[in-house]
Amino acid sequence: MTAIPHRPIGRTGLTVPELGFGAASLGNLYAPVSDADARGAIDAALAAGLRYVDTAPHYGRGLSERRVGEAVRLQPDVVISTKVGRLMDPDPSVTDDRERDGFRSPMPFRMRYDYSHDGILRSHEHSLQRLGVARVDLLYVHDIGGYTHGDAAGGYWQQLTTGGGLKALERLRDEGSIAGFGVGVNEIQVCLDVMQEARLDAILLAGRYTLLEQNALDALFPACAAAGTSIVIGGPYNSGILATGTKRGGTLHYDYGPAPETVVAKVRGIEAVADRHGVRLPAAALAFVLAHPQVASVIPGIGSAARVAQTVELYREAIPAAFWQELRAAGLLRADAPVPEDAA
């Protein structure tokens, strides 16, 4: 089996495998994952060459970071990204694993946003302790912007800019404590805004460049090409619907909630083309984003060893050129979105 190719991250000198591991699932996102299954998933991922792991303090209020750290600690050449912007305050009232902020985690903490200079330095230190590692490679400013904060976004923006948050990240990068930093968000405009304030090495863009939507081609990707900023694609299945398709029963998931009918209709259209060409929808979802030269890695959410094996198989699936041509001709894909055949 050929190794998974690596791609550079900005100007950091760091490379990451183009298929990485999104560890939100290991924080018990929506459903509990046992310690054994979590360990099995990440061990299988590392063995298969998915040696870029993305985690965050938010993912199960520290649970994902603890699990990732246990698995990667003695492993060479694993690139780790985690995030800043949320601090975990002790909360003795948490005594069960009922869902809080989307996670079924028993970790007794309460999340507090803090994008200030001191908040970011503290968050970085806390992450090293929870992971039990001496260094993380990349830090993403997590969920800055109106998508998460609504009317409160302005205050957090002040913390990050005039409040010295970005200065703290520049300091960590300048002194070599991290290789690079960027933002990890679900919206495009805030990426452009932060790029006006600092030189970003990478942007973790979740759900906003997928088989379903390509608006990032308008301004963001050209700006990243000009600035030397790499893109890591989070949420490549838009939370599930591009992995499951529309034909199974039950709720179809799109962007952390039930899929709206317009989205279901578009996925049905893509699915019909995929069926005609014998292509599996999630295989197309992974191959599509990797065809863009600005994209360094795609990190689907994976919660079990079986899912790792299935994901690697999907990643390696051969997709006929006629599939992409038909998607374009049917108006289901923007004509200017690169597809794997363009690079061949």
Q: Which residues are catalytic?
A: 54, 59, 83
CA distances from 325 to 217, 270, 338 (A): 19, 12, 11
Q: Which two tokens stand for residue 38?
A: 């979590």
Q: Which of 85, 180, 300, 338 binds ligand NAP (CB under 6 A)?
A: 300
CB of 22 vs ligand NAP, minimal distance in Å = 2
245 binds ligand NAP (CB under 6 A): no
60 binds ligand NAP (CB under 6 A): no
**Segments of 130-211 assigned E as strands:** 138-142, 180-185, 202-206
Nearer to ligand NAP, 112 or 329 (CB): 112
86 vs 198: CA distance, rounded Å: 20
Q: Is 205 helix (H, G, I), strand (E, B) or coil?
A: strand
Q: Which of 19, 24, 191, 211 binds ligand NAP (CB under 6 A)?
A: 24
CB of 92 vs ligand NAP, minimal distance in Å = 28
CB of 167 vs ligand NAP, minimal distance in Å = 21
List binders of ligand NAP among 160-199 (CB under 6 A).
184-186
CB of 45 vs ligand NAP, minimal distance in Å = 12
Q: Which of 69, 165, 303, 338 binds ligand NAP (CB under 6 A)?
A: 303
**Segments of the chain assigned E as strands:** 6-8, 15-17, 21-22, 52-54, 79-84, 86-90, 109-113, 138-142, 180-185, 202-206, 230-234, 253-254, 257-258, 295-299
Q: Which two tokens stand for residue 122?
A: 């503290």
Q: Nearest residue to ligand NAP, using CB?
A: 301
Tell me 60's DSSP state: T
Nearer to ligand NAP, 98 or 248 (CB): 248
Hey, what amino acid is at 73?
R
Q: Which of 10, 17, 22, 62 binds ligand NAP (CB under 6 A)?
A: 22
CA distances from 139 to 8, 119, 313 (A): 16, 13, 29
Q: Which of 88, 299, 308, 333 binds ligand NAP (CB under 6 A)?
A: 299
Q: Which of 202, 235, 290, 296 binds ligand NAP (CB under 6 A)?
A: 235
CB 205 within 8 A of CB 232: yes
Longest alpha-carbon distance in the chain: 57
Phi–psi pair at 343, nearest 5 degrees: -85, -20
- Count the residues in the chain: 344
Nearer to ligand NAP, 30 or 322 (CB): 30
Q: Which of 48, 80, 243, 337 binds ligand NAP (CB under 6 A)?
A: 243
CB 157 within 8 A of CB 85: no
One character per residue 89-128, x = contact with ligand NAP (rule: CB under 6 A): ----------------------------------------
Which residues are near ligand NAP by CB under 6 A?
Answer: 22-25, 54, 140, 142-143, 184-186, 204, 206, 234-240, 243-244, 282, 299-301, 303, 307, 310-311
